[in-house]
């Protein structure tokens, strides 16, 4: 027996979702240009600790951020604001992925430094509300999730441009239990949303002389949305005749990242949301683990910088929060510096991170009291940044490796 009523109820939900997405498309058509940070009277940076180890590693990264922006802060050109309320307890209390008052505060900032937040899943003690991350990316239209991974000694220099507001994530909390036996999720690709992420990847490749862009989809199977992604890439690529590009399927690309012969050829990847989520964890593992990777979530008006890993509540439950490694959040600070045009600071911070966590390792992070605390590590980074011979030291390690 076909349950016609269930079909009708699902169709109504479907209709509502379509309407919302088409309204969104209209907004995308009218979106403004990228904010020019140099033209602002004052740059406002919100700091949101998040859950679990988030507040610990975020505070350590904030020390480094304030060190690098000390002159601007003193001159009143940069203001740092602590933004509370993004905790899982608070989100559950108001049953929203981001409480309204917190969202309002976030929207008054230009940039956000955000610690990991707990994402409830089915079976957790928390109600299964939408992820704060995903909600923030959507609310602030942070469409480009930029994730660099570099292992100089292996010739790896990758930058991932993960689409951040569409794909399987856009309606990830709006799927339909059509009947007890049939569940359906949705995956979306808009022309505008697809074009802007692909263009961001190609622009980056052009500006940074990367010369090569790889599109990653599963367009042989997910024919409509991924097919659209690929079609648009073909069009966009015509505007960048000097950049070589190719397309790969996600399954073989996960293998190629492990192919020592081939992987160092890749430079820039552009990919839909879910594939980007998965492939960047794999790439980060090659670099030394998800704890080493930072992530820039860029939109034209707002930008948010975060770790790519979760909130590790167990570490805090066991009283080890202060020993969590803040490298990923410090990497997020380097991405922030580059984004606001302080490229030299970003580059130096990257070198200091390599020196402190991979090469010199005067302090070891063990995640417990046998190692250093996150704040001690941040101090070590700041001392290293002050070294006149930082670049020389960094190069000597790279050449030795
Ligand atoms: C990431 C994370 C998030 C995602 C989670 C926490 C919602 O895995 O930033 O990659 O899936 O995007
Ligand atoms: Mg992820």
Burial tier of 173 (Cβ tally within 10 Å: 0-12, 13-18, 19+):
middle
Can you tell me which atom of ligand 1 is nearest the CA of 295? Answer: 9
Q: Residue 213 — φ and ψ, nearest 5°?
A: -125, 135
Q: What's the confidence (pLDDT) of residue 286? A: 96
CA-based torsion, 43, 149, 306, 315: positive or negative: negative
Q: Are residues 272 and 189 in the same domain?
A: yes
> Does position 401 have pLDDT exceeding 80, yes or no?
no
In the prediction, which pLDDT does 120 show? 82
Domain co-membership, 161 together with 246: yes
Residue nearest to atom 12 of ligand 1 (CA): 277
Q: What is the pLDDT of residue 123?
A: 83
What average pLDDT does range 37-51 have in this prediction?
96
- Tell me the ligand closest to 278's alpha carbon: 2
Q: Is the pLDDT confidence value at 128 over 90?
A: no
**Ligand 1 binding pocket includes 225 (Cβ within 6 Å):** no
In the listed set 289, 310, 335, which residue is the last one of a domain according to the structure?
289
- Is 208 found in the same domain as 326? no
Q: Give the domain range for residue 196.
A: 143-289
Q: Are residues 331 and 293 in contact, defined by beta-carbon separation less than 8 angstroms?
A: yes
Instruction: Give the span between the Cα atoms of 349 and 336, in whole angstroms.
Output: 11
Measured CA to CA, the distance from residue 277 to residue 179 in angstroms comes to: 30
The pTM assigned to this predicted structure is: 0.94
Ligand 1 atom at minimal distance to the Cα of residue 164? 12
37 CA distance to ligand 1 middle (Å): 27
| Cβ of 135 less than 6 Å from ligand 1 | no
Domain count along the chain: 2
Q: Is the pLDDT of residue 152 over 90?
A: no
CATH number reported for the structural domain that contains residue 245 in this entry: 3.40.718.10
Statement to judge: residues 259 and 329 lie in one domain = no
368-396 residue pLDDT tens: 999 999 999 999 999 999 999 999 999 99
């Amino acid at each position: 027996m076909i349950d016609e009523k269930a079909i009708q109820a699902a169709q109504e939900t479907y209709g509502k979702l379509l309407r919302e997405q088409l309204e969104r498309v209209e907004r995308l058509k009218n979106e403004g240009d990228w904010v020019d940070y140099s033209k602002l009277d004052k740059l406002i940076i919100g700091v949101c600790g998040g859950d679990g180890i988030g507040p610990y590693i975020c505070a350590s990264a904030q020390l480094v951020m304030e060190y690098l922006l000390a002159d601007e802060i003193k001159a009143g050109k940069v203001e740092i604001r602590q933004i509370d309320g993004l905790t899982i307890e608070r989100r559950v209390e108001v049953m929203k992925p981001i409480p309204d008052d917190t969202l309002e505060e976030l929207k008054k900032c230009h940039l956000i430094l955000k610690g990991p937040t707990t994402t409830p899943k089915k079976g957790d003690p928390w109600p299964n509300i939408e992820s704060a991350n995903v909600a923030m990316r959507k609310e602030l239209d942070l469409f480009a999730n930029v994730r660099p991974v570099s292992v100089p000694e292996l010739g790896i220099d990758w930058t991932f441009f993960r689409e951040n507001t569409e794909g399987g994530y856009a309606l990830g909390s709006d799927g339909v239990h059509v009947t007890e036996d049939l569940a359906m999720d949705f995956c979306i690709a808009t022309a505008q949303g697809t074009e802007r992420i692909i263009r961001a990847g190609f622009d980056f490749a052009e500006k940074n002389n990367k010369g090569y862009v790889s599109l990653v989809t599963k367009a042989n199977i997910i024919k409509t949305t991924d097919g659209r992604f690929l079609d648009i890439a073909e069009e966009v690529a015509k505007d960048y005749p000097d950049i070589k590009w190719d397309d790969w399927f996600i399954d073989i690309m996960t293998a190629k990242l492990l192919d020592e012969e081939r992987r160092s050829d890749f430079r820039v990847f552009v990919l839909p949301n879910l594939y980007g989520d998965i492939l960047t964890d794999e790439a980060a593992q090659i670099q030394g683990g998800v704890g080493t990777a930072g992530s820039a979530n860029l939109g034209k008006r707002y930008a948010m910088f975060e770790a790519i890993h979760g909130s590790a509540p167990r570490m805090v439950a066991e009283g080890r929060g202060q020993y969590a490694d803040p490298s990923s959040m410090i990497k997020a600070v380097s991405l922030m510096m580059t984004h606001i045009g302080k490229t030299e600071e970003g580059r130096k911070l990257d070198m200091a991170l390599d020196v402190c966590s991979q090469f010199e390792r005067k302090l070891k992070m063990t995640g417990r009291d046998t190692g250093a605390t996150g704040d001690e590590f941040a101090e070590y980074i700041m001392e290293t940044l002050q070294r006149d011979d930082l670049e020389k030291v960094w190069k000597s390690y790279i050449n030795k490796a």
